[in-house]
Every structure is written in C-alpha cells, then in structure tokens.
Structure 1
Amino acid sequence: MSALLLVTACGSGSKNNENGSKGNEKQEKTAWEKIEEKGELVVATSGTLFPTSYHEQETNNLTGYDVEIVKEVAKRLNLEVKFVEMAFDGMLTSLNSGTVDAAANDIGVNEERKDKFSFTDSYKYSFGSAVVRKDDLSGIKTLEDLKGKKAAGESTTVYMKIAREYGAKEVTYDNATNEQYLRDVSIGRTDVILNDYYLQSLALTVFPELNITIHPDIRYRPSEAAMILKKGNEDVIEKINGVLAEMREDGTISELSKKFYGGADVSVKQDLDFE
C-alpha cells in the first residue's frame, strides 16, 4: 500500500510539472519580446525642443541630442525606430496606454516620476536657470521674487512646479516653439522661463535680437535626464542600458553632446553650488 501511494504521488507530481510547463509556454510575451518581434521601437518626442528634439531647417528631418541617442540605441539593438511627436503631457499618457514604448525629450529624472515610471540610465546632467528680460532682469533677483511674476511653460513640468511653489502665475503652452516662449518674455507678455541651463543657453543664441538673457545669479535644481518607459518594463530598460554603457565607453554620447550643445559635454555631472 505504501509503494502504491508513493508511485501515485510521483505520477501526480509529474503531471503537474507537465501542465506547469505548458502554462509557462502560454505566458504573455515580455515588453522586450514584443518590441523585438515587431522589430521597431516607438518613441515619443516633441520635435520642437532645440537642441534635444527638433526639425532641421534645411531638410525638416527630426534630429537633436535625445533623438540621435535613441537612433543609435535602436541601431545597436537591431531595431527600426519610429518617432511620434507630441507635447510632454501626452508622452506620459501614451506610455501608460502602450501607444509608445518610450519617451525621450530631455525628461528629468525625479522621485515622483520614478514612482510611476521607469527610467534608463541618465545621459544628461544639468541644472535650472531663468530666462528674463535683458534690460531689467524682469525685476527678479532671486527665486523668491517669482511671486506674482508670469512664468511660461507646460503645466506638468518640474520647472513649472518650481514656479508655482514660489508663487508665480502660470502661462501655459501646448508644444509651442522656443521662439514663441522667448519672444513672449522679450515683449513682456510673460516675465520668466524656468528651464534647463543648456537648453536655454543655446536657444538664446538663435535669437540674439530679442531682449532676453539668462539670469546671472539664479542656479538651482541639479538635474538628470534619461529615456522614460512604462513602469515594470525592466527587460527593455536592461537592453537599452547595456547599449548606453557601450556608447559611453566608446565616446559616442560625449560626441553627440558636443555636437548639439555647442561643445559642452552634458553627459558629465558638474560640481556646482546651487540655491
């Protein structure tokens, strides 16, 4: 009787293992397997943020620091890349809905976003600055002077959050061009734009005729930027991070940075004092 029970138990266990194996075979494909199967990485970007994601004037081709990093990552992963242009607010919604696989648009890494999304390793380090009118600095000496001032930007960015915290009045845009943002400060429709130092430095060089400058005394919020993906797509993150590591090692990221940021290597973290 004991022998019979033992054989029955072993037979039952074997059957369960067989069913378990079949069950595993029917498991849904991972995020990376789906991307690999279709052979395409779908990435959200704005197409309006110089020098991160913009269209060349001569050819209208989409390019920029983030865009070219994504192109190289896709190439090394043997994938085609499809860019979908949209405002920042739509990028996060599109990630959660699965409309896009990732977003790349100088997107800052912070704890609030890390709770809801996943990030690749960072490939840009910078800090916050303030574009103001050149002739009077828009009446701003420190961040405390933002109270009551008209701050331009998109409502969900970390920079607009900072403006709100200091009591500024929001003037929001829907995927507007750099020229519109900067011209509005110059003519007094708005007073200040809080944003990334490198982005604002380069944007100002394109419009030297405008009455705008980067505030000489305001530096804040050291930041990092990376590609952002839907929470839990760690297999995709692992693949992308592997390629990013190769690109750092062989100097590709540094070269792209210097190309798009006027010779500056934004892939290296700076040691600066901040407010």
Structure 2
Amino acid sequence: MFLMKKWVAVAMTVLMSGLLLAGCGSSSSAGDAVQQKIVIGLDDTFAPMGFRDDGGNLVGFDVDMAKEVASRLDMEVEFKPIDWNSKEVELNSKKIDMIWNGLTITKERLEKIAFSKPYMANRQIVVVLSGSDIKTKADLAGKVVGTQEGSSSVDALNAEPEVTGTFKELRTYADFVAVLNELSIGRVEAVVGDEVVLKYYMNKKPGTFAAIEDNFGEEEYGVGLRKDDTELLGKLQGALDAMKADGKSAEISKKWFGEDIVK
C-alpha cells in the first residue's frame, strides 16, 4: 500500500510538471506574437509637431504621422519626452528607437545618426515683438537674441558669425515656449527658431509678435534612427512613401497646417 501511494505521488508530480511546462510554452508562443514596439523620442513642447494639449495628451503633426506609420507596420508605438539637447545620445544608447519631432537634417547629425528622406521644409526665422525697430538681421546688432538649446537654430546662427558676432548676447533656453515668454517680457529682443513652431505660437496671440523678412536659412525635417537600424529605416520609409501616395500625409498636414506642406 505504501509503495502504491508513493507511485501515485510521483505520477502526480510528473503530470503537474508537464502541465506547468506546457503552460510556459503557451505563454512563450503568445509572447512571440506580441507586436514589436518602437519608442519615439520627442520634445513635448514643440508645437505643432509634438506637444501636450490642455488635457496633457501628446498630440501634433509628427505624433499623428508616427501613429499612422506604426499602424501600417503593425507595431505598437510609445512616445518618450527627452532632453532635446541629448537626443542623439538617447538614440544611440537605445533608450529610444527614433527621433521624430521636427528634427532638422544637418551635416553634423548625419555623422551620428541615419535619417529618413526629408518630409517637410522649414526656415529659421526671426521673431520680434510687434512694433519693434528690428526689421532686418543687421538690426540685431547690439541686441539680446534667444533660441532653443540644442536646436538647429543654434547651428543656423553659428553658420553666420558675421551676424551673430554683432549680438549683445545670445541666450539659449530649454524650449521655444520659454524663449517667447522671455521675448514677451523684454528679457530678449528677438527670437530665432523654426518657422512652423514659431508661427503656430504667433497665431495663438495675434498682434503680439511679428516675423521679419530676413531669415537664417532653409532646412528639411527627417526622422532620425540609429545607423545600424537599416531594416527599420526601410520599413519606415516604405510607410511614409505609401502615405504620401495615398494622400494620408496630406490629410494630416491639412489638419495641423491648413494645407499640404509635406514634401
């Protein structure tokens, strides 16, 4: 009787172990079917490309574009606000998979990361208070000028030392919201930054700001990825090309800008 009970106990142990192993195998198979996730780094104050609405939700042109691409690639997407001044480090340390937030394609950045094809053109404009005596870049001589730290605006300004060398001071801030606030209260006398961003905020306060005719050059936006993520870059570009062809990118552009400005 004792041997019979011992045999039954052993058999039950083996059976339960088999069930547990089968259960683990099922979970693994289910895990294999889970969608791949891409983590997108952005500056969540960069309206209208990527920013928080009154409810704290991340919205914007680039956010909508990224969601559409993820949907077409059957991927889950996560948006991660980052320090814009450290964006390449965040990307190459694999804390994020893409930088998608009005990222200008520059020679210096091309040395560190890969880019999609350009999807939008932009200019670096000069914004002043309405009624300002600043009408040209030459009028910036002796003035305090502000811009966003780590932005392509800094590169654009550095490319024209004959102009920036005449400034009284060049101040950098965490984001363009802060820079425009400084302009509003007179701590800076002009702001240099992305046209698509600055004009968005200008339109929210009609009559407060004005853009002068001179600018610090044209540029193009692209999506940044790690140089070794060639397969992901190919999938991304394929989705972007398809969205351009079927009119989806134009639809998203009209939602945010009132017209199709996608390249």
TM range (shorter): 0.7 to 0.9
Aligned partners of 1:131 and 1:214 also within 8 Å:
yes
Structure with larger Rg: 2
1:177 to partner: Cα distance: 5.8
Aligned residue runs from structure 1 range 155-166, under 5 A: 155-164=149-158, 165=161, 166=164
Aligned partners of 1:151 and 1:192 also within 8 Å:
yes
Q: Distance in 2 between matches of 1:99 and 1:106?
A: 19
Aligned partners of 2:147 and 2:176 also within 8 Å:
no
Q: Distance in 2 between matches of 1:37 and 1:146?
A: 55
Aligned partners of 1:44 and 1:102 also within 8 Å:
yes
Letter of the 1:63 partner, please give it.
Answer: V
Tell me the SS of whatever aligns to 1:194. Answer: strand
1:101 to partner: Cα distance: 0.4
TM-score by length of 2: 0.79
Aligned partners of 1:200 and 1:214 also within 8 Å:
no
1:209 to partner: Cα distance: 6.2
Give the root-mean-square deviation of aligned CA atoms.
2.0
Structure 2 CA distance for partners of 1:148 and 1:213, relative to 1, 3 Å: same
Residue 136 of structure 2 corresponds to residue 142 of structure 1 = yes
Q: Say how many residue pairs are matched.
A: 225
Aligned residue runs from structure 1 range 1-275, under 5 A: 39-57=36-54, 59-136=55-132, 139-164=133-158, 165=161, 166-167=164-165, 168=167, 169-174=169-174, 176=175, 178=177, 180-208=178-206, 210=208, 212-215=209-212, 217-261=213-257, 263-268=258-263
Among the aligned pairs, what percent are the same residue? Answer: 27
1:182 to partner: Cα distance: 1.6
Q: Distance in 2 between matches of 1:87 and 1:154?
A: 12
Tell me the SS of whatever aligns to 1:108. Answer: coil
Q: Distance in 1 between matches of 2:246 and 2:109?
A: 30
Q: Which position in structure 1 is the counterpart of 2:10?
A: none
Aligned partners of 1:123 and 1:253 also within 8 Å:
no
Structure 1 residue runs of 5 or longer lacking an equivalent are: 1-35, 269-275
Q: Distance in 1 between matches of 2:179 and 2:94?
A: 31
Aligned partners of 2:128 and 2:191 also within 8 Å:
yes
Tell me the SS of whatever aligns to 1:116. Answer: coil
Structure 2 residue runs of 5 or longer lacking an equivalent are: 1-32
Aligned partners of 1:185 and 1:191 also within 8 Å:
yes
Aligned partners of 2:116 and 2:222 also within 8 Å:
yes
Letter of the 1:51 partner, please give it.
Answer: P
Aligned partners of 2:122 and 2:219 also within 8 Å:
yes
